[in-house]
Amino acid sequence: MLYLISCTGHYWIERITTWIPIYSVTPRPFKMRILVCFIFSLMLLVALPVVGVLWKGLPVAQYLEFPPITRYVRHAGPSWPLFLVFLSFIMAILWPFLRRFVSVGPGPGAVCEKDFHDFPWWGKCAFVLCLVSWLLAWTRFSWFRPFQPYTFIPLWFSFIFFINGMSHWLTGSSLVERHGLRFVALFPLSTVFWWYFEYLNRFVQNWYYTGVEDFSPLRYVVTASVSFSTVIPAVLSVNELLKIFPRFDNAYKNFLPLRLKRPKLAASLALLLAGCGLMAMGIMPDLLFPLVWIAPLIIVTATQAILGIETVCREVHHGTWVGICRLSASGLICGFFWEMWNFFSYAKWIYSIPFVSQFKIFEMPLLGYAGYLPFGLECAVAASFVIGFQDIMESNASLTARASLSKV
């Protein structure tokens, strides 16, 4: 009986994992590495924040409250010296990339009017639905009052399919058409993905929700889960649309090579520092709150590098930053629309960020938008288990050339 159960379990594991690109295309000796990476990273990401508050002797129950309503972290007020420190640090990192992007022209490969395709009917319907949802989100019609807390859902589903319609219009292809069921699988993956960030937020409490106070736990989890399901598809759809514009390729294809003499040692040190930061985040939330958006990316990427698995930084040693910069821009673009549509909505999120709450654009402080840059990469890391890094990171020109060669 045990043997039968074991054989059945092995069969279904093989069937499921062959559907995962990062797993199915990997030689058998490396498959265990991927599973070890996934399990080890997941354990660190979930356990370390709890270990930190337990070590400090703080009550764990308040961090696991659901629905997450109680606000127990008291944040420091604005600080101009720290604001300038954060601003200087962010600009020191971004300046070479911004300067390169502005100085390099669009070059050959720009989309011309003769290259346009028919705009798909489903893209047109999505555009109309997006406009209607936007109107309903920002107004307060009495007849719509029972549905007012749910406008985020149709707004972002329609945005995703409109962006895919734009990709089809400009190139004849789109993420949803090319991947079909794999694209559909991004939605439940995105739900789990963003719930993890909600979990991390319990330790820093940088945002909270209004307009949902009367939700029951079931109503809260269902509404939130459907809303969260749009995060990864939105970022990847915008990333796909940005592939049309050659400026990213021209600016970042031969940019800054990052070669490390001992990459596995560097990855181990990064893993150690990110792990310690994640563990201490609940103890010092005012100082370590940026790690919500940085530590998970470092932990997963460092673990992949140590185990010899392909990472999101796979081409930077050659000086190619195209995929990374495009994904970061995609996260920032989606972030702008998230914040804009959130601003006048009934059910919305409010930020409570220490030290750098100056100069708000909508509800988000100016420097807070920097968190969307690594967030775009984190979406790609999560989505790579369904779509694969190659399709996410490479430009349309590279993918088209590879497809042509495969047909020869």
How is residue 367 written in tokens? 């420097």
Does the bond joining 188 to the residue before it have cis omega, within 30 degrees of 0? no
Separation between Cα atoms, residue 181 and residue 328, nearest integer Å = 25
**Phi, psi torsion values for 123, nearest 5 degrees:** -70, -40
Separation between Cα atoms, residue 267 and residue 354, nearest integer Å = 30
Positive or negative, the Cα torsion across 133, 138, 143, 148?
positive
Q: What pLDDT does 135 receive?
A: 97
Q: Which helix (H) or strand (E) holds 350?
A: strand 348-351
Give the CA-trace dihedral at 379, 384, 386, 392, to 10 degrees.
80
Q: What pLDDT does 113 receive?
A: 52
Residues 6+ apart with CB under 8 A from 242: 248, 326, 329, 330, 333
Separation between Cα atoms, residue 71 and residue 92, nearest integer Å = 34
Q: Which helix (H) or strand (E) holds 360?
A: strand 360-361
Strands 348-351 vs 360-361: parallel, antiparallel or unpaired: unpaired
Separation between Cα atoms, residue 151 and residue 160, nearest integer Å = 15
**Segment-wise mean pLDDT, segments of 10 residues, the chain, 408 residues:** 41 45 52 80 93 91 84 90 95 94 72 72 97 97 95 97 95 91 95 96 94 91 96 97 91 88 92 96 94 96 90 87 95 97 96 94 95 96 86 67 44
Number of Cβ atoms within 10 Å of the Cβ of 13: 11
Q: Which helix (H) or strand (E) holds 93?
A: helix 80-103
Q: What pLDDT does 404 receive?
A: 45
In sequence order, the β-bridge partners of residue 209 are: 349
Separation between Cα atoms, residue 289 and residue 281, nearest integer Å = 7
- Do residues 204 and 126 make contact, with C-beta atoms less than 8 angstroms apart? no
SS3 of residue 145 by DSSP? helix
Separation between Cα atoms, residue 170 and residue 164, nearest integer Å = 10
Q: Which helix (H) or strand (E) holds 386?
A: none
Residue with tokens 């796909």: 240
Residues 6+ apart with CB under 8 A from 134: 155, 341
pTM value is: 0.89
How is residue 325 written in tokens? 């910069």
How is residue 247 written in tokens? 């400026």
CA neighbours closer than 13 Å in the CB half-sphere of residue 206: 27
Separation between Cα atoms, residue 72 and residue 406, nearest integer Å = 57
Separation between Cα atoms, residue 86 and residue 388, nearest integer Å = 34
Give the single-character DSSP code of 364. Answer: E
Q: What pLDDT does 14 receive?
A: 45
**Phi, psi torsion values for 209, nearest 5 degrees:** -110, 145
Separation between Cα atoms, residue 195 and residue 179, nearest integer Å = 24
**Phi, psi torsion values for 348, nearest 5 degrees:** -150, 170
First to last CA, the chain: 50
